[in-house]
């Protein structure tokens, strides 16, 4: 029986180790993929490639499933065509003592049950939130939906964002996700502000190393991600990654990241800026930081 106890203790240890200590909870279209890929450059960070969607979609499968997610992924990668090769390339290596496991699922930020669920896994989970001007975010979201064929050519950003009676269509997810204060309040019911680190998505583009230093500090890690591994690619117009010992050596993000936005007319833009202004102010107060998005 001594053996059994020993084995089960070990198993329990392995299982706990695979649960993430930090989660990028959102926000969709604010730079969550770029942040995760940058963080992966740190030798002490192990990150999942695809979005696990555990706390929003697969919670009923239980924490053990979540911890085994990466192993499952490894297995599926051996069967051709089930998941895209790009996802397999990003599979998570086994994490070990001293490593931080991290995942990103932007849907978590706007799903009501998720803060409670993450809190019940561990109250000390570190949460990372990337934000940008909600108006820009909404256009980016719409651009993505159009590219996925969700709207036909006659649908414009303005025609979706503004109702026929002239009011902002706040129920439309592209608009609703940008009500940061509304969503943030639910997280602060479960986590103290010290557990939530906010990344300025615009700074992440213009000065990624600065934002990454702050994230590494927040995670309690040595600052090891340097300008040697992230460079500005003027063709892409965005930062890209250098991996000296890998082929390809230089890697920019896919064309779905950092793409040209759909047209948005001035009337709609103005209406949306005014619509978001009070919400943005509430968010600034909540997180004690002024992002100065256009009022």
Site residues (vs ligand A3P, CB under 6 A): 28-34, 106, 140, 204-205, 238-239, 253, 257-259
Question: Residue with structure tokens 């250098």?
Answer: 242
Residue 50 CB, nearest distance to ligand A3P (Å)?
A: 13
Residue number with CB closer to ligand A3P (18 or 183): 183
CB of 166 to ligand A3P, least distance (A): 27
Cβ partners under 8 Å of residue 252, min gap 6 = 233, 236, 238, 240, 241
Q: In whole angstroms, how close is the CB of 205 to ligand A3P at the nearest point?
A: 5
Angle in degrees, CA 288, 293, 295, rounded to 5: 110
CB–CB of 131/291 below 8 Å?
A: yes
* CA dist., res. 236 & res. 250, Å (int): 12
List the structure tokens of 108: 């978590």
Helix axes 180-188, 266-287, angle to 10 degrees: 20
Nearer to ligand A3P, 67 or 128 (CB): 128
Considering the complex, state which of residue 24 and residue 196 has its C-beta at the smaller distance from ligand A3P: 24
Question: Shortest approach of ligand A3P to residue 32 CB, angstroms?
Answer: 3
> To the nearest whole angstrom, how small is the minimum distance from the Cβ of residue 33 to ligand A3P?
3
Which residue, 136 or 280, is less far from ligand A3P as judged by CB? 136
* 23 touches 128 (CB < 8 A): yes
Nearer to ligand A3P, 18 or 104 (CB): 104
The answer to whether residues 80 and 27 touch, using CB atoms and an 8 Å cutoff, is no
- Backbone angles phi and psi of 230, in degrees to 5: -130, 125
Helix intervals (H) in the chain? 2-18, 32-39, 63-76, 85-89, 114-121, 134-147, 157-161, 173-176, 180-188, 201-206, 208-218, 266-287
Of the chain, the end-to-end C-alpha distance in Å amounts to 67
- Residue 289 Cβ vs ligand A3P, minimum distance, rounded to whole Å: 19
Residue 110, Cβ neighbours under 10 Å: how many? 21
Q: How far is the CB of 96 from ligand A3P (least distance, A)?
A: 28
**What is the number of H-type helices and E-type strands within the chain?**
12, 8
Between 75 and 232, CB nearer to ligand A3P: 232
Q: Which is closer to ligand A3P, CB of 118 or CB of 241?
A: 241
Give the separation between CA 151 and CA 202, rounded to whole angstroms. Answer: 27
CB closer to ligand A3P, 45 vs 135: 135
Closest separation in Å from C-beta 262 to ligand A3P: 10
Q: Which residue has the tokens 């300008």?
A: 227
């Amino acid at each position: 029986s001594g053996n059994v106890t020993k084995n089960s203790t070990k198993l329990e240890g392995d299982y706990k180790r695979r649960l993430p200590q930090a989660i990028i909870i959102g926000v969709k279209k604010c730079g969550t993929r770029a942040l995760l890929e940058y963080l992966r450059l740190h030798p002490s960070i192990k990150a999942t490639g695809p979005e696990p969607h555990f706390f929003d979609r697969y919670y009923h499968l239980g924490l053990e499933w979540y911890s085994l997610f990466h192993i499952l992924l490894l297995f599926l990668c051996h069967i051709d065509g089930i998941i895209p090769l790009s996802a397999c390339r990003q599979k998570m290596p086994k994490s070990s003592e001293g490593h931080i496991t991290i995942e990103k699922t932007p849907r978590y930020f706007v799903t009501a049950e998720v803060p409670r669920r993450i809190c019940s896994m561990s109250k000390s989970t570190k949460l990372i939130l990337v934000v940008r001007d909600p108006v820009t975010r909404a256009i980016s979201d719409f651009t993505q939906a159009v590219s996925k064929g969700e709207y036909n050519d006659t649908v414009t950003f303005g025609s979706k964002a503004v109702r026929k009676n002239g009011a902002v269509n706040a129920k439309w997810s592209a608009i609703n996700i940008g009500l940061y204060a509304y969503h943030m309040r639910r997280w602060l019911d479960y986590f103290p502000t010290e557990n939530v680190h906010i990344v300025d998505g615009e700074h992440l583009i213009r000065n990624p190393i600065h934002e990454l230093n702050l994230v590494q500090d927040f995670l309690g890690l040595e600052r090891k991600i340097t300008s040697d591994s992230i460079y500005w690619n003027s063709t892409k117009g965005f930062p890209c990654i250098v991996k000296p010992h890998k082929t390809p050596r230089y890697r920019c993000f896919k064309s779905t990241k950092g793409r040209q936005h759909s047209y948005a007319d001035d009337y709609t833009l103005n209406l949306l800026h005014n619509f978001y202004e009070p919400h943005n102010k509430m968010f600034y107060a909540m997180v004690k930081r002024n992002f100065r998005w256009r009022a």
